[in-house]
Amino acid sequence: MTLFDLSGSTALVTGSSRGLGRAIAEGLGAAGARLILNSRTGGSSLSKAADELRAAGCEVYEAAFDVTDEPEVKKAFDRFDAEGLAVDILVNNAGIQHRQPMLDLALADWQRVIDTNLTSAFLVGREAARRMIPRGRGKIINIGSLTSELARAAVIPYTVAKGGIKMLTRGMAAEWAKSGIQANAIGPGYMLTDMNEALVSDGKFDAWVKSRTPAGRWGKPEELIGTAVFLASGASDYVNGQIIYVDGGMISVL
């Protein structure tokens, strides 16, 4: 399956100390990619994830930086350049949630969610593409959500950011496809990660997810790996600007 072989390429996965980013990184590593793991702060959680992936046989670099901070993002890429790390695959995964009705929402919380879930993909994507374009190839995978399509009460900034991710992905495709870069997105359904801890332990919400999802269950982080490897590999060289939902069918049914 050489079409899906990532040997010789380097993948930066933002927000990969845990959750979906950690699972995607593990999958890309298993397909042969050298990994750059990221989270806001370095230290134990990032190093623990890095050590686990090294133990699984991956080559792993750690890069702690805040994806919302333009100078920090630039500095990180300058460091990759100095160390000879060319990012061939970028997964814009870092994200946060903030649940509050819009009438009570403070501007600072709106801004924080938009910055972390959307502006980050612009900042890191721009820096990566500046280096991919001269090489004539690169893969960018933005992490969207079911809220890239559908709104939900009390998570409006998240919904706006993820809707923006869908259009940012198409914008990246519009500008960069001719330079050999494929920009696509993954829209995960309800997945079992820390971000959803409160929802999983809420019996009513848990029952709603299971009844609303045709697959009848929450998704597991590792269930994103197949789509991530596809979008990171030569198998997707003519796929551009798409968002692929990995959601047990939720977005397809009423």
Q: Minimum CB separation from ligand NDP for residue 138, in Å?
A: 20
Nearer to ligand NDP, 97 or 179 (CB): 97
Instruction: Identify the CA nearest to 225 among candidates 7, 1, 24, 15.
Output: 24
Q: How far is the CB of 190 from ligand NDP (least distance, A)?
A: 5
Beta carbons of 105 and 157 less than 8 angstroms apart: yes
Q: Which residue carries 């993002």 as its tokens? A: 73
The neighbour count for residue 100, using CB atoms within 10 Å, is 14
Number of Cα atoms under 13 Å in the Cβ half of residue 185: 30
Q: Which is nearer to ligand NDP, 45 or 179 (CB)?
A: 45
Please count the residues of the chain: 254
> Measured from the CB of residue 94, what is the shortest distance to ligand NDP in angstroms?
4
CB nearer to ligand NDP: pick between 8 and 78 = 78
Cβ closest to ligand NDP, residue 27 vs residue 95:
95
The CA–CA distances, whole Å, from 199 to 93, 195, 238 equal 20, 9, 38
Residue 93, token pair as written in the block? 């995964």
Tokens representing residue 77 in the block: 């890429």
Task: Return the SS3 of 135.
Answer: helix
Task: Considering the complex, state which of residue 126 and residue 137 has its C-beta at the smaller distance from ligand NDP.
Answer: 126
Catalytic positions are 158
CB 81, min distance to ligand NDP, A: 20
Q: How would you classify residue 166: left for phi > 0, otherwise alpha for psi between -120 and 50, otherwise beta?
A: alpha
Query: Which residues form the interface with ligand NDP (CB under 6 A)?
Result: 14-21, 38-41, 45, 66-68, 93-96, 116-117, 143, 145, 188, 190-191, 193-196
CA atoms of 42 and 39, how far apart (whole Å)? 7
Residue 193 CB, nearest approach to ligand NDP (Å): 3
Map tokens 């993820």 to a residue.
162
